[in-house]
Structure 1
Amino acid sequence: MHFAIIFRILGILLMLFSLTHLIPLGVSLAYDDGVHLAFISSFCLTFVIGLIVWSPVYKARDDLRTRDGFLITALFWLVLGTFGSMPFILDEHLKLSVTDAVFESISGLTTTGGTVITGLDDLPKSILFYRQQLQWLGGIGIIVIAVAILPMLGIGGMQLYRAETPGPIKDSKLTPRITETAKWLFFIYAILTAACAIAYRLAGMTWFDAISHSFSTVAIGGFSTHDASMGYFQNPTIWMICCFFMFISGLNFGLHFLAWRKWQLKQYIADSEAKFYFFYILMACLIVVPILVFSDVGKHYDHPIVEGIFQVVSMATTTGFATTDFSAWPTFLPFMLIYLSFIGGCAGSTGGGVKVIRIALMLKMSLRELQQLVHPKAVIPVKLKRKPVDSVVLSAVWSFIGVYLVTYIALVLALQATGMDHVSANSATIAMINNLGPALGTVSANYGHVEESAKWIMCLGMLLGRLEIFTLLVLFTPAFWRR
């Protein structure tokens, strides 16, 4: 393990992260909301500590190994979650405890979107903007962004990219050089964000709300500048714009790159994961919308069809925006919407969950097992894009899903041990591990009243979900630390 290189990278990344505090500082000064000292203090403290970590090892040079990448990725999300909480702690308007501040920071960076804060409409603009910015940075993955910068500093980035990028197939690159890959990912991410902000503004949002919500929409985060979330606007046009950008942000960003480079939409049509993604969201809409429209609840809505589609897309992509209190919807709909987050977005997207590609492969493997019960001697390959999938990938998929479910059960039991009821513990775990945000039961509104021990458990769940379980759990295996 190259600890000198690891500390050098952490120091550099902390100093880079400190610079992001200057943007909300500018917002604070522009709106004169009195929070500028909190951002100045957090910027200085983060930068100085990063400098202290970096200085003793700034001359260290060596190639990163895969194990180094896993450790840096896990450590950085932990460190970032801690330092990202400082503006929340220092702001006198919020009066958050350390636990609540860290929860809010990790929820933002992991694009979970669960919050402990109420009264968002009355908060300073700079704090609201900072929350949205955390989600935007977490969406693309600050590690992936740094991959484009680290080579200039003499640090290779492939191991970081492999540790951070979600999905069962991690070695495919859009361009021959990993630096170029990261740059193009960031470029596409930024273009989608800008397009989303402009669309929101044209639909009636203020520039502040448009930019803020574009951050959390493309990041599939779910933070809003209003307590009522997207329901604040009561504008079907805004809701459908949000649906569109949530949906495309849940697709593999590699497909966006290929479609943009070749100016062809067939990249989406030919991709089996994208087709499955579209199909399962369509099926969910066909179930949810009719039940909502013909229910007593739906009769009170001016646009029940739009609200039904919006909530399906929001939950299926693990964004977590809401136009209304969906926990009050009839029959099984609230639970169905929560369970949709298990599938989540596509590999290589900003979405959470197990990922569409894994679910698709799991279904194909299950179908193969059923066929082999009838034809035990038949050789039936599992195919993806008409090509047989390597058995190593299939084994990894089953392993991931198995560990995912065990982790889910363990977190539910841990939350119940803190005194949380079953519905709340179950839905909160789903919301955390899938980076969804909203839940049911006593935590349907927010997480502010939850026991502190439960909040730390949920922070762990958010990190496990963001790092796709294995990236964090591998650190606790003896084999990882053996030479």
Structure 2
Amino acid sequence: MSASRTADHATRAAALPPAVMLVGVSGVMMFVPGAYGLASGESADARSFLAYGGLTLALAAMLALALAPGARRRPAGSYLATLVGAYALLPLVLALPFHQAVGNTRFLNAYLEMVSSLTTTGATLFPDPARLSGTEHLWRALVAWMGGFFALLAAVAIFAPLGIGGFEVLAPARAGRLERKGAIAEVADPAVRLRRFGVMLAPVYGALTLALWVGLLIAGDQPLVALCHAMSTLATSGISPVGGTTGAGAGLAGEALVLLFLVFALSRRSFTRERGTRWGRELRADPELRLGLALIGAVSAALFLRHWWGAVEVRSGQDVFEAARALWGGIFTTASFLTTTGFVSSGWEAAQNWSGLHTPGLLLLGLAVFGGGVATTAGGVKLLRLYALALHGRRELERLVHPNAVVGGGTISAGSGATEGKGEQYGVRAAYVAWLFFMLFALSIAALMLAFSLTGLDFETTLVLTIAGLTTTGPLLEVAESAPVALSGLGDAAKLIFAATMVLGRLEALAIVALASPDIWRR
């Protein structure tokens, strides 16, 4: 027993602090756009990224010496605080080569661009793709891709044991508190979990990105465009070097591939499965996936019928091809904004031209608020919380029909088959914590809109900025209103508030509240 404890202490002593690892990984990643710049003839950009890559690695080495870890086990709260610091401070390092490469922009703009990328928001101060070089576009997509993996890793290694980030619905009794029983919390501290799950998730995340990249290449995209779109799809950032899928060469085939891979943002079961169950059966029974597909189908059908009715009024005959494009545009764009990716289909504009009706931006705002699955790269409220509230609503309606039935103390299973009996049950307590998060989300919207309004912005702009930041859906700034919201035209105070909004949206208000809980700082 003592030998195992000694080995465990040695493993912890040899491990680098998470802050050092993040800075070191950032330095290594800077060599990727540097190498691309050399290969593509963008030598000035290449020199910036290669030089800052070396300086960042040197900084990581100095931090490793200064923050040499000891054998003492760190509390879980310190890792949650590290997440907050990473999203706020790491973009300062990531912005250095980008600022030097772009040249004629302020460092605050470069910092905001990197916060947007790291949080997988995808909002940009450079709406014209020609404003940036291919090397700079690659860096934005690469940072967002790293941010997506970072979000996945933090969800399973940090949020899950603390019962936040959507996991409070699965274990409502310990929402926001450290689990004190079981091997996961007692044997493996957050550092061990980060290493373990990092090794497990990295090959899967990379392989899926590679598969989508190859598929988009075969469909007709240019290599850089295909790579950026593949990374942006898996990270749900919506970053594109050509203004989205509408400017790509893959066409409808490329959109179909992107839509296929967006399923990984609808359910946490896409990357993980329970022991003793089949992945396919478990995924089919997953409430998040079923609710997400139901929302996509219902909203797409409603949009199609709306455009079809508009086309009936303005045309005497019907074009089957235009109707099919309109239906596809609704399905793809609905799924894209529900997963907080923000790609717009080429059929989206075709549907509006077909019927002469414009789709209200409030619908896209609502889809982004719903969000994707728990423990995915998607933002928003999350489908699992919606499912818990829907079950509670059904339970209350049943009590109206059978008022003497005893239902308050029981639970309703999340599904059937693979999920029954596995402990994933949603009772009154689960609905309570889901509703509590909704209240925190609503209060965050009110507070942030007030903060934006104090900078002199109008109501519509403050609403779009707040929803886009809290749901990490940057493309809403371009499509939610009749005129795009230009980040470059905001004042410095509004830009900093938007940066804080994106960080809050990535971490969620419940994680910030959990930092004040003394339970996660004790061992």
TM superposition score category, shorter chain reference: 0.7 to 0.9
Tell me: CA distance 1:27–1:161, structure 2 relative to 1, closer, same or farther (3 Å).
farther
1:131-146 paired onto structure 2 within 5 Å:
131-141=140-150, 144=153
Tell me the amino acid that sits aligned with residue 419 of structure 1. G
Are 1:292 and 2:294 counterparts? no
Are 1:63 and 2:63 counterparts? no
Are 1:208 and 2:224 counterparts? yes
2:378 to 337, 347, 351: 351
The answer to whether the 8 A contact 1:114-1:446 is kept is no
Are 1:166 and 2:176 counterparts? no
The answer to whether the 8 A contact 2:259-2:335 is kept is yes
Deviations 1:102-130 (A, max 9, x none): 11101111111111013323522111111
Tell me: CA distance 1:31–1:256, structure 2 relative to 1, closer, same or farther (3 Å).
same
Deviations 1:194-228 (A, max 9, x none): 111111111110122111110001111100001x3
1:76 is aligned to 86
2:443 is aligned to 406
Q: SS where residue 111 of structure 1 aligns?
A: coil
- 2-structure distance, mates of 1:165, 1:39: 36
| Farther-moved stretch of structure 1 (60-69 vs 260-269) | 260-269
TM-score (norm 1): 0.85
The answer to whether the 8 A contact 2:372-2:378 is kept is yes
Deviations 1:173-210 (A, max 9, x none): 8xx98444433322222222111111111111012211
Q: CA RMSD in A?
A: 3.5
1:184 is aligned to 200
1:319 to 329, 336, 341: 341
Deviations 1:422-470 (A, max 9, x none): 1121122111100111233387254221222111111111111111222
The percentage of aligned residue pairs carrying the same residue is 22
Q: SS where residue 265 of structure 1 aligns?
A: helix
Consecutive unaligned residues in structure 1, runs of 5 or more: 148-156
- 2-structure distance, mates of 1:306, 1:45: 47
1:364 is aligned to 391
1:153 is aligned to none
Are 1:103 and 2:112 counterparts? yes
1:217 to 200, 210, 233: 233
TM-score (norm 2): 0.79
Tell me: CA distance 1:252–1:165, structure 2 relative to 1, closer, same or farther (3 Å).
farther
2:52 is aligned to 42
- 1-structure distance, mates of 2:338, 2:125: 23
1:86 is aligned to 96
1:323-402 paired onto structure 2 within 5 Å:
323=345, 330=357, 333-372=360-399, 378-380=405-407, 381-383=410-412, 384-385=414-415, 388-389=425-426, 392-402=429-439
Consecutive unaligned residues in structure 2, runs of 5 or more: 1-12, 172-178
1:418 is aligned to 455
May I ask how many residue pairs the two structures share in their alignment? 465
1:152 is aligned to none
Deviation at 1:305, TM superposition (A): 2.3
The answer to whether the 8 A contact 1:70-1:163 is kept is no
- 1-structure distance, mates of 2:338, 2:197: 27
Tell me: CA distance 1:441–1:134, structure 2 relative to 1, closer, same or farther (3 Å).
same
Tell me: CA distance 1:239–1:49, structure 2 relative to 1, closer, same or farther (3 Å).
same
1:468 is aligned to 508
- 2-structure distance, mates of 1:349, 1:69: 19
Deviation at 1:350, TM superposition (A): 1.4
Deviation at 1:13, TM superposition (A): 2.5
The answer to whether the 8 A contact 1:289-1:309 is kept is no
Q: SS where residue 341 of structure 1 aligns?
A: helix
1:272 is aligned to 287
The answer to whether the 8 A contact 1:73-1:160 is kept is no
Deviation at 1:58, TM superposition (A): 0.9
- 2-structure distance, mates of 1:308, 1:136: 26
Q: SS where residue 35 of structure 1 aligns?
A: helix
Deviations 1:298-350 (A, max 9, x none): 99995322222221111111001124687x95366321122111111111221
Deviations 1:335-393 (A, max 9, x none): 11221111111112211111100011012223334444565554323422356436554
Q: SS where residue 369 of structure 2 aligns?
A: coil
For the pair shown, the structure with the greater C-alpha radius of gyration is: 2
| Farther-moved stretch of structure 1 (364-373 vs 454-463) | 364-373
Tell me: CA distance 1:259–1:377, structure 2 relative to 1, closer, same or farther (3 Å).
closer
The answer to whether the 8 A contact 1:12-1:51 is kept is no
Q: SS where residue 166 of structure 1 aligns?
A: coil
Tell me: CA distance 1:241–1:68, structure 2 relative to 1, closer, same or farther (3 Å).
same
| Farther-moved stretch of structure 1 (417-426 vs 330-339) | 330-339
- 1-structure distance, mates of 2:498, 2:72: 36
1:20 to 29, 42, 63: 29
Tell me: CA distance 1:251–1:260, structure 2 relative to 1, closer, same or farther (3 Å).
farther
The answer to whether the 8 A contact 1:88-1:96 is kept is no
Q: SS where residue 63 of structure 1 aligns?
A: coil
- 2-structure distance, mates of 1:238, 1:7: 40
Are 1:9 and 2:9 counterparts? no
Deviation at 1:50, TM superposition (A): 2.8
- 2-structure distance, mates of 1:288, 1:143: 32
The answer to whether the 8 A contact 1:69-1:163 is kept is no
Q: SS where residue 273 of structure 2 aligns?
A: helix
Tell me the amino acid that sits aligned with residue 465 of structure 2. A
1:305 is aligned to 327
| Farther-moved stretch of structure 1 (410-419 vs 440-449) | 440-449
Tell me: CA distance 1:231–1:445, structure 2 relative to 1, closer, same or farther (3 Å).
farther
Tell me the amino acid that sits aligned with residue 211 of structure 1. L
- 2-structure distance, mates of 1:457, 1:414: 7
The answer to whether the 8 A contact 1:414-1:457 is kept is yes
1:32 is aligned to 41
Deviation at 1:67, TM superposition (A): 1.1
